[in-house]
Amino acid sequence: MSHLVIAPLLLPLLAGILLLLLRGMDLRWRRGLALAAVLGQLALALLLTRAVADGDILVYALGNWPAPFGICLVADRLAAWLLVTTALLALFALAYGSLGTDRAGRHFHVLFQLELFGLNGAFLTGDLFNLFVFFEVLLIASYGLLLHGGGRLRTRAALHYVVINLAGSALFLIAAGLFYGLLGTLNLADLAVQVAAVSPDRLPLVRAAGLLLFGVFALKAALVPLSLWLPGAYANTSAPVAALFAIMTKVGAYAILRLSTLVFGGALIIDWLLPLALLTLAVGMIGATGSDRLRAQVAYLVLASVGTLLTAFGLGSAAGIAAGLYYLPHSTFAAAALFLLADQIAGQRGDLADRLEPGPVLGRHWVLGVLFFLCAIAMAGLPPLSGFIGKFLILRAALDRPSAPWVLGVVLVGGLLALMALARSGSRLFYKTIDSAPAADTPTPPGAALGLVAGLLALGVAMTLWAGPLNDYTDAIARQLLHPAGYVQAVLGPRGGARP
């Protein structure tokens, strides 16, 4: 039993506790401690990726209680892929927050570490009830982070976010109770065994519980029509929090993918996911086109990226899942970069902030324009960045499906709408100005902040340069997911879930 599996949980939890105890310490020391903790999580995620790269599945039984009776953590290729993505994103978001955003409220660094604890736990848990627990941990931390800095719009958006997620949590508990009452287990591997052998008279109830879970995860992923909370929440919170939240919807997508392939044999993916994903993509792009604020536009683009990701998963094939998993980190890093850049642009425009109206000249800050152009390319999925490769892989995977015309049409038109929306925003921000010269007191954007935006874009460049090996890895993840017998055996052993 490898203790490496539990390390990505212990490190952010202990770091959060330590930061809480040291809340009276100088802020610079707390920033350093928080950044060191995230760097440690990145190192652990890379070590875990190396450990499972050959297809091994590592299981950690808490208290040495065997599954399905005890709590277990499971690390496979998918979990490691998402842990690395989360740690990289968190590093840039936390570094940006440490430039001054963390002064706007209390316990920013504590909540940030607890958010990572919840995210890592959700990716590693092998138990349905503990998936609920980690969802609650990350949601509670996200409530505090969303409200960080205060303000009327932020408070209103947070109220909507809290209420709808509390409703989702209640439905999650009901679904988990149904599964336990029907099958007598909440261990994911054991659920896979029990669902496969369920009697015909209980099958409708099991399907109903599965659809209820699908609704909960669709809410977390912001799948239409359960997506109304996302634009307001993401557009009104602080920039580093919005950047970190770019991974939040991916937790719901991960849960849909994990339970669909492991417990339900892919049925939920094929039957329900694809049409809703295409609708989500369409709604997100329409919202981005009609937005009057840059942050709101980015939030709608996040919604559209969720639709694109779940469209890939909804194809139900190894090629589709692999394409989606390649697209996942790209869309996360690109959205985070654009959220951080939007914050810097807003800081240059005085009272206009991020409203897409003619304002002060930004021409002397040419770096802002270059970074906006690169972010627009990344979000629209244009070559040569990794978004183009991700969308190309999704379209190629869709060609052998009956729904290919719909998938190709919606994805391609969505990319065109994204390009048009971002081109309109760039024109209004950088060309349609009301002054012939920049204001003398306009602050210069901090080089460190722009460097962090460039760093996130550089991750997309790296994904392009190493697209071949990364696609091979995501293909291996997809094949492992579609053959869940290895997961079941790793968790339950040769007995395959037999009960004494």
pLDDT single digits (tens) 325-354: 999 999 999 999 999 999 988 887 777 877
Hey, how many other C-beta atoms are within 10 angstroms of the C-beta on 91?
A: 18
User: Tokens in use for 302?
Assistant: 């996040």
Cis amide linkage into residue 66, ω under 30° from 0: no
Based on the domain organization, do 319 and 409 belong to the same domain?
yes
Domain match, 142 and 181 both: yes
Q: How far is CA 391 from CA 165, 284, 399, 405, in A?
A: 30, 16, 13, 15
**Residues 236 and 172 occupy one common structural domain:** yes
Assess whether pLDDT exceeds 80 at residue 242: yes
What tokens appear for 389 in the block?
């490769």
* Between residues 154 and 74, the one the model is more confident about: 74
* Structural domain includes residue 476: no
Does 477 fall in a domain? no
Give the range of the structural domain holding residue 295, as residue numbers without chain letter. Answer: 267-465
Q: Phi and psi of 440, rounded to 5°?
A: -70, -30
3-state secondary structure of 493: coil
Q: What is the pLDDT of residues 153-166, one digit of tens each?
A: 888 888 888 889 89
Residues 292 and 347 in one domain: yes
If you average pLDDT over every residue of the chain, what do you get?
88
Domain count, the chain: 2
Joined together, the tokens standing for residue 90 give 């968190």
Which pLDDT score, from 0 to 100, does residue 500 have? 39
| The two three-digit tokens of residue 100, written as one number | 């001054």
Q: Are residues 43 and 192 in the same domain?
A: yes
pLDDT score for 14: 95
pLDDT of residue 436: 47
Cα separation, 60 vs 66, whole angstroms:
9
The sign of the torsion formed by the CA atoms of 82, 84, 87, 92 equals negative
Q: What is the pLDDT of residues 260-305, one digit of tens each?
A: 999 887 665 556 788 999 999 999 999 999 888 999 999 999 999 9
| 199 and 145 fall within a common domain | yes
pLDDT at 104 (0 to 100): 81
CB 408 within 8 A of CB 311: no
Does residue 475 form part of some domain?
no
Kindly state whether residues 217 and 351 are assigned to the same domain. Answer: no
How much is the pLDDT for 269?
56
> Do residue 343 and residue 433 come from a single domain?
yes
Mapped onto helix, strand or coil, the DSSP state of residue 304 is: helix
- Residue 12, judged by CB atoms within 10 A of its CB (0-12, 13-18, 19+), counts as buried
SS (H, E, C) 433-462: ECCCCCCCCCCCCCHHHHHHHHHHHHHHHH
Whether 488 and 453 share a structural domain? no
